[in-house]
Structure 1
Amino acid sequence: MRSSTLVALLTATSGSAAASVYKRDLAVSEPVYPSPWMNPKAKGWEQAYAQARDFVSQMTLLEKVNLTTGVGWQGEQCVGQTGSVPRLGLRSLCLQDSPLGIRFGDYVSAFSSGQTVAASFDRDLMYRRGQAMGEENKAKGVNVILGPVAGPLGRAPAGGRNWEGFSPDPYLTGIGMAETIKGIQDAGVIACAKHYILNEQEHFRQVPEAQGYGYNITETLSSNIDDKTMHELYLWPFADAVQAGVGSVMCSYQQINNSHGCQNSKTLNGLLKGELGFQGFVMSDWQAQHAGAASAVAGLDMSMPGDTLFNSGYSFWGANLTLAVLNGTVPEYRIDDMAMRIMAAFFLVGMEVDQPPINFDSWSTDTYGPIHYAANEGYQQINWHVDVQGDHGDLIQEIGAKSTVLLKNTGSLPLNKPRFLAVIGEDAGPNPLGPNGCSDRGCNMGTLAMGWGSGTANYPYLVTPLEALNAQAIKDHTRLEAILDNTASSTIEALVKQEGATSLVFVNADSGEGYINVDGNEGDRQNLTLWGNGDELIKNVSSLCNNTIVIIHSVGPTLVGDWYDSENVTAIVWAGLPGQESGNSLKQVLYGEVNPAARTPFTWAATREDYGADVLYEPNNGDKGPQQDYTEGIFIDYRALDSKNITPIFEFGFGLSYTTFEYANIQVEKQSAQDYQPTTGETAEAPTFGNFSTDLEDYAFPSSSFPYIWQYIYPYFNTTSSAKDASMDSEYGQTAEEFLPPGAIDSSAQPLAAAASGPEDLPGGNALLYDILYKVTAEVTNTGSLAGDEIPQLYVSLGGPDDAPVVLRGFDRITIEPGQTVTFTAELTRRDLSNWDVAAQDWLISEYPKTVYVGPSSRKLPLSATLS
């Protein structure tokens, strides 16, 4: 991969003076073929491989095609379903949004967002959240959860779906991915790491969507990146996902260096399956597939939702894939490997072929209705209304409280039976349409507890901040008055200027997926200001009340520079997107029932420009695919500010407590580890599972007694007069040699990449990268009078001129009693200390001096030591 460049040319335009315009030397994604096949000895996958091989070896070609192709949008109950294999007892696989709960489900939980739980810096909470989501999906009949999210990573703070992921720091996101995946899959459901990769904004991700907003483009956005940045930033958390054993990965809508994400052989074949040794299956995002055979040989394993466009009835795969295998365009080992990867992931998480039925429906809340919604056919029971919540509300409340960040406090918190509370702001109260009143949460009314789009779930209930505060006020005999209209200036003024008022001002900032436009925000935020005139609301209240506490629910950072340092703003709390227990979680922190310890998982900068990267809002390549150059390299979020010595308002990793802590006595202990050796050797040859009939008659649509469902995607041919007539895609009239890249159908043994997993190693890259080289310890003492959690953080300076000043490489959340001293311990792996060498195409530790730092945030690092 190489960065794109701009070449300035002088030209004259019709009807105007000569002007300087740019012709782009478009970035190019190098071809990598063939698509790697599964490794039967990959650590952790051995049994699943054997079970999959036994199952797939019994399947016919038609059954393999059925397993790899979705049945079409709204073809059955889930947002995505594969075809079934009834002869072998396998029902269709159910794939369902979302990364914080079951989209479209009833009697399900609405969890805190990924970004919110990241603020807890608590591995155990991340795991338990994943496990609880897995349990609920399992009980509904879901086989694959479409989450967690590492793409977007959070390159641009205004990116619409940043809240679905964890953090713009790849280390923190990698931990969030790994723990969530382990939790989900321990519950017996396949996790899906998405959106792979560089899916960093909503603008221009899909052509029809962009055209619907009036943009004149004919290709999706291209994210143009260099090899070093790809490895050190964006690929990092996906490596953690693969090492955690993730069963599936979803490829993204946009292009990468001008090659579509779901047929980009460099990212799918080269990086994911080759270098990282990923053993699971790659599915397309919904309508992200743009070709048939080309996507198959580039590494795509499952087409979702199966049709080329929603409800078109046409498919790049289905019957076209059947034909492509028959005529050799797609090699037999590739369809075998697709099926193997899907079934290996299935068996890896402990699923059995005899699956319980899917007991909910994405398209209707009715108990009875058509099982094939698009075709309005198959009337039967489609919803059993199974309550799968268990006691997960308690967990969600715990996550919300432990993820609430105290950004400022001059002593007004915690509250202790306040005499008079003035609760101000729409964000404190309910949505007048109800918590689920806006489809996919596509509005911003009432308190904000999740963003909008496919990454949402229906609330079983939503505890608003006002509801929880009212309950506490009743206990404390506190006078509480609330004004839930941000524009009621005179009424607000009359209330908050009264003697003895403590004003709680609730504000928010929302965003989401690009198919929904909220107040002119086409997924991505237009700006980083608060919504509903929130900044003016805070300034107005704080000008009248000398005890103003600000509570922010947001999808990421906002610009707080106009008011954060006012002496009348006595506290600032960021509560993220806490989910259904929002008010209860917040009340626990405000009243000191939970001592805050969370840390901001992103930087709060003084200006938007400080962040180093932004959303591309206007097309810049004529009517072709917009070009977004990642010229900032690895310098996003705190790395950007640190590299330019820009002081943030609240730095990455910052958060206050109701007690105090001191750090002392850093120690570094070098560990014994073998020298690094690049991976060598070759794979075995591609395995295949036997011959199949090449007679077109054997692939004809079954007899008239077999029901045909309108728009449903089948593996059968409508006609068997000729291969050309049977195909609905002209590419299959050609041979593979005529239009596929060299090596695309090669089945011979292939060399292993230097950075790749070894033949018997855990997937995730060269096993020696995970050797522990150093153990770092430091003492942390609670010097206050309250017990509390502290989150010591370990940062490393890699020392090179192209490196960030510091990068996060360790953390822990530790409960410490007053006066108690505990030891913080973090281990540094070879990977943690390495840079990507573009010449060697491997990870190498540079000769530059390495320094480790320990402290409570990225800018407060009182302890340091050099590494020998």
Structure 2
Amino acid sequence: MIKNAFKITLFTIICNAMIAINAQETTSSKAIETKIDQIISSLTLEEKVAMCHAQSKFSSPGVERLGIPELWMSDGPHGVRGEINWDDWGYANWTNDSITAFPALTCLASTFNPKLAKDYGINVGEEARYRKKDVLLGPGVNIYRSPLNGRNFEYMGEDPFLASKMVVPYIQGVQQNGVAACVKHYALNNQEVWRDKINVVVSDRALHEIYLPAFKAAVEEGKVWSIMGSYNQFKGQHCCHNSVLLNDILKKDWNFDGVVITDWGGAHDTKQAALNGLDIEMGTGTDGLTSSKKNAYDYYYLANPFLKLIKNGEIKEDILNDKVRRILRLMFRTNMNPNRPLGRINNQEHLDIARKIAGEGIVLLKNEASFFPINATKKITIAVIGENATKPMTIGGGSSELKAKNEVSPLDGLKNRFKNATIIHAMGYASGPSAYGRVVPSSLDANKLKQEAIEAASKADIVLFFGGLNKNYLQDCEGGDRTEYKLPFGQDELLNEILKVNKNTGVVLVSGNAIEMPWISNVKAIMQTWYLGSVAGDAIADVISGDVNPSGKLPFSFPKKLSDNGAHSFGELSFPGDGVNEYYKEDILVGYRWHDTKKIKPLFAFGEGLSYTTFEISNLDSDKKAYSKDESIVISGNVSNKGNVDGAEVVQVYIGKLNSKVARAEKELKGFQKVAVKKGENASFKISIDAKSLSFYDETTADWNLEKGDYLIYIGNSSASISKKIKITIQ
């Protein structure tokens, strides 16, 4: 009777605590922390340890006797992954787990529109909530260092400021649904080859200036509730239990109060996992009940081995209690919050926002003789060439693959929009079926496909060549990096043959990475369309037809050749390493910082993107010429639309230090604003920049240092297109 009464009392405490919070307010209040203390004191040692590791592929246990629920997680960040089996990686083959596939995060970053990032987060969070997920494993903010990285399409580009500004509203949008975002992969996971063991050797300055800012913003500004560790090593420790990254920086310096979750199989040692900041261990190399009669999850590093070390006094119980406190805090924010909304899935609003993001993220790179837009009312013949015009792109790619309820192909999107045109399609090239971890060649006759494509092109008024990558293994895919910079499957050769029979050819690239373009001077137009999800074809047709005026800007540089990229310029020790260590020899000069500072002209620059109208940025000035460290620098000006189409321009503000006492990039992005302007009209803008953001990370003091002296402000519409320079002084 006493035992049952205690159980009822504790259950009442939990219920009261849940009622005390709402969907917007987290458990930081002293009252909730007190209730968590009460729950912890009532848990057995075994129950607490069990909460620190998986019980299935995508869940960790609660405590049934006290009404504490399980935590359920799902891969993201572009949508909620199809349901996976309890103990293995097979799909459960449910009939009710199809979802809306949103554009890849490279596309979101290309919008340069934080409001759309908030909309993205809200909508994908609603779908996760509807699917009864407590943690959405995304977004990813690893920095684009090399165009060969297989998972670049999941991230937000090469610039830490852009990634920071886009990730914060995404997190806020997801979490307003009572679903935790789980920002990944913390940190330095910038390649797939040897990702489970490579030790990244990087300066503290590059770490803090380039690779950590987006994670820091996620924690300090986004108030993210969970973080996923990365597979690789830093300073000789795996990042899922790394004392510098997790204990010192994340939990001490940034005051992160959430849960650190391993990447699946990212734990390697019980003591390090216990002492170095890990809270929940997932995916370690056991498969449910297959290894013994006992539950194999009990043999995770943070399971029975952890329990044994606590019982024999080698690890203090306080270490365990901190993990459980964080897990309970996460639960009060998610599955023990009675006020969180119910969620929605596969509705028109979600499709509309996916289409809006896709349309704003598409980047027009070349448009000779106004090749685009194509008039949809004309009776013309359009040859649509390429497997990428029909290949589903929501599947494949690894853990970010999706089970979309529908996916509109580019070919279908064009057919839906261009009713008056005769559209003929030829595959042209074939990649073979998607298979994770291996390349499966196509069984189709490559020469026959090529000849059919050339014949189709010869009969057409316009050729649209749909090329790029495709989320197959060694393309844009988890678990393997690209092996070459050029287009795969003979696309370069095919395109050259097509140009011999029809010079009126535009290229539509579907990829999450930069590519080499030896044919660039011979094609009329180039459009970068990313992986766009459920409404890919409709969004592409919107831009090709001119229904949507492109306003996307590149979130990373396109080098002319691979050796022009900073990481690759130093040889294999810099990328991908020697299998043991990898040395980030380009240091802070990542992406456009490298191209600008070393005067190596890229094929296309960071921030670059054309429009169907013409903009003029004018009346540019700063509010003052001298600032103290506690002031904000305000840049103002006007954007004029000189053309005949409504559009939007992204004003970009870069700042560089003149005569710095340390090596610096020529300039760094410090502010941007997307400005919508109707045809023939003007719009004003103001961009505010905290003077402290001009600091560099000083390794001699292990702190940020704002140099006094002169700075140069660069204002333009890409890193390579500057309208005006303004000199200011920090006093």
Same structural fold, with TM-score higher than 0.5 when normalized by the shorter chain? yes
Query: What does residue 174 of structure 1 align with?
Result: 164
Distance 1:133 1:248, change over 3 A: same
Query: What does residue 250 of structure 1 align with?
Result: 228
Bigger shift: residues 603-612 or 55-64:
55-64
Distance 1:82 1:614, change over 3 A: farther
Query: What does residue 112 of structure 1 align with?
Result: 103
Deviation at 1:272, TM superposition (A): 1.1
Query: What does residue 402 of structure 1 align with?
Result: 360
Query: What are the superposed Cα offsets for residues 80-105 of structure 1, whole Å, 9 maximum, x if unpaired?
Result: 21111123312110011021111114
1:611–1:638: 8 Å Cα contact kept in structure 2? no
Query: What does residue 191 of structure 1 align with?
Result: 181
Q: Distance in 1 between matches of 2:625 and 2:332?
A: 37
Q: List structure 1 runs of 4+ shifted beyond 6 angstroms.
A: 353-357, 518-521, 615-621, 671-674
Match of 2:542 among 588, 592, 604: 588
Do residues 127 (structure 1) and 118 (structure 2) align? yes
Deviation at 1:650, TM superposition (A): 1.1
1:194–1:252: 8 Å Cα contact kept in structure 2? yes
Match of 1:158 among 123, 131, 148: 148
Bigger shift: residues 661-670 or 246-255:
661-670
Deviation at 1:349, TM superposition (A): 5.6
Query: What are the superposed Cα offsets for residues 793-835 of structure 1, whole Å, 9 maximum, x if unpaired?
Result: 1111133351111111111112101222212221112442110
> Which structure shows the bigger proportion of residues in helix conformation?
2
The count of corresponding residues between Structure 1 and Structure 2 is 658
Query: What does residue 62 of structure 1 align with?
Result: 46
Q: Which residues of structure 2 form unaligned runs of 5+?
A: 1-23, 84-96, 430-445
Q: Distance in 2 between matches of 1:613 and 1:654?
A: 21
Distance 1:306 1:203, change over 3 A: closer
- Is the partner of 1:84 in helix, strand or coil? coil
Do residues 393 (structure 1) and 351 (structure 2) align? yes
- Is the partner of 2:567 in helix, strand or coil? coil
Q: Distance in 1 between matches of 2:555 and 2:638?
A: 24
Distance 1:297 1:577, change over 3 A: same
- Is the partner of 1:57 in helix, strand or coil? helix
1:405–1:597: 8 Å Cα contact kept in structure 2? yes
- Is the partner of 2:308 in helix, strand or coil? helix
Query: What are the superposed Cα offsets for residues 739-798 of structure 1, whole Å, 9 maximum, x if unpaired?
Result: xxxxxxxxxxxxxxxxxxxxxxxxxxxxxxxx6521111211111111111111111113
Q: Which amino acid aligns with 1:535?
A: D
Do residues 424 (structure 1) and 385 (structure 2) align? yes
Q: Distance in 1 between matches of 2:242 and 2:110?
A: 33
Distance 1:815 1:450, change over 3 A: farther
Matches within 5 A, 1:283-362: 283-305=261-283, 312=291, 313=296, 314-348=299-333, 351-352=336-337
Q: Distance in 2 between matches of 1:672 and 1:64?
A: 56
Do residues 536 (structure 1) and 493 (structure 2) align? yes
Deviation at 1:70, TM superposition (A): 1.4
Q: Which amino acid aligns with 1:57?
A: Q
Bigger shift: residues 317-326 or 183-192:
317-326
Query: What does residue 655 of structure 2 align with?
Result: 796
1:509–1:529: 8 Å Cα contact kept in structure 2? no
Do residues 853 (structure 1) and 714 (structure 2) align? yes
1:157–1:614: 8 Å Cα contact kept in structure 2? no
Matches within 5 A, 1:275-290: 275-290=253-268
Q: Distance in 1 between matches of 2:418 and 2:549?
A: 20
Query: What does residue 146 of structure 1 align with?
Result: 137
Deviation at 1:455, TM superposition (A): 1.6
Q: Which amino acid aligns with 2:32?
A: Q
Query: What does residue 214 of structure 1 align with?
Result: none
- Is the partner of 1:180 in helix, strand or coil? helix
Matches within 5 A, 1:639-654: 639-654=593-608
Distance 1:162 1:772, change over 3 A: farther
Distance 1:615 1:125, change over 3 A: farther
Q: Distance in 2 between matches of 1:233 and 1:815?
A: 30
1:793–1:856: 8 Å Cα contact kept in structure 2? yes
Q: Distance in 2 between matches of 1:618 and 1:55?
A: 50
2:126–2:345: 8 Å Cα contact kept in structure 1? no
Q: Distance in 2 between matches of 1:179 and 1:248?
A: 15
Do residues 563 (structure 1) and 519 (structure 2) align? yes
Query: What are the superposed Cα offsets for residues 388-415 of structure 1, whole Å, 9 maximum, x if unpaired?
Result: 5453111111111111100011211111
Q: Which amino acid aligns with 1:468?
A: G
- Is the partner of 2:623 in helix, strand or coil? strand
Q: Which amino acid aligns with 1:611?
A: N
Deviation at 1:616, TM superposition (A): 11
1:48–1:347: 8 Å Cα contact kept in structure 2? no
Q: Distance in 1 between matches of 2:701 and 2:396?
A: 42
1:792–1:854: 8 Å Cα contact kept in structure 2? yes
Q: Distance in 1 between matches of 2:30 and 2:584?
A: 38
The TM-score, its normalising length taken from structure 1, stands at 0.72
Distance 1:455 1:53, change over 3 A: farther
Deviation at 1:618, TM superposition (A): 8.0
Match of 2:202 among 219, 225, 230: 225
Distance 1:222 1:511, change over 3 A: farther
Give aligned-pair identity as a percent.
Answer: 30
Do residues 272 (structure 1) and 229 (structure 2) align? no
Query: What does residue 71 of structure 2 align with?
Result: 93
- Is the partner of 1:802 in helix, strand or coil? coil
Q: Distance in 1 between matches of 2:68 and 2:571?
A: 46
Q: Which amino acid aligns with 1:827?
A: S
Q: Distance in 1 between matches of 2:51 and 2:361?
A: 40
Query: What are the superposed Cα offsets for residues 632-675 of structure 1, whole Å, 9 maximum, x if unpaired?
Result: 10112111111210111211100000100111122212599986
Deviation at 1:66, TM superposition (A): 2.2
Do residues 84 (structure 1) and 62 (structure 2) align? yes
Distance 1:94 1:449, change over 3 A: closer
Distance 1:604 1:450, change over 3 A: farther
Query: What are the superposed Cα offsets for residues 291-310 of structure 1, whole Å, 9 maximum, x if unpaired?
Result: 11222211111111366677
Matches within 5 A, 1:827-846: 827-846=688-707
- Is the partner of 2:331 in helix, strand or coil? helix
1:190–1:346: 8 Å Cα contact kept in structure 2? no
2:62–2:68: 8 Å Cα contact kept in structure 1? yes
Q: Distance in 1 between matches of 2:361 and 2:348?
A: 22
Query: What does residue 670 of structure 2 align with?
Result: 809
Q: Which amino acid aligns with 2:78?
A: L
Q: Distance in 1 between matches of 2:348 and 2:46?
A: 40
Higher-Rg member (1/2): 1
Query: What does residue 453 of structure 1 align with?
Result: 398
- Is the partner of 1:47 in helix, strand or coil? coil
Q: Distance in 1 between matches of 2:626 and 2:600?
A: 39
Q: Distance in 2 between matches of 1:829 and 1:354?
A: 37
1:104–1:458: 8 Å Cα contact kept in structure 2? yes
Deviation at 1:242, TM superposition (A): 0.6
Match of 1:235 among 188, 209, 212: 212
Deviation at 1:329, TM superposition (A): 2.3
Matches within 5 A, 1:481-630: 481-486=424-429, 487=446, 488-498=449-459, 501-511=461-471, 523-560=480-517, 562-566=518-522, 569-614=523-568, 626-630=580-584
The TM-score, its normalising length taken from structure 2, stands at 0.85
Do residues 415 (structure 1) and 374 (structure 2) align? yes
- Is the partner of 2:718 in helix, strand or coil? coil
Q: Distance in 1 between matches of 2:618 and 2:425?
A: 46
Q: Which amino acid aligns with 1:774?
A: I
- Is the partner of 2:456 in helix, strand or coil? helix
Q: Which amino acid aligns with 2:170?
A: T
Q: Which residues of structure 1 form unaligned runs of 5+?
A: 1-42, 207-219, 360-385, 430-445, 676-770
2:474–2:481: 8 Å Cα contact kept in structure 1? no
Distance 1:818 1:391, change over 3 A: closer
Q: Which structure would you say has the larger RCO, counting Cα contacts within 8 Å and 6 or more residues apart? A: 1
Query: What does residue 14 of structure 2 align with?
Result: none
Q: Distance in 2 between matches of 1:471 and 1:508?
A: 23
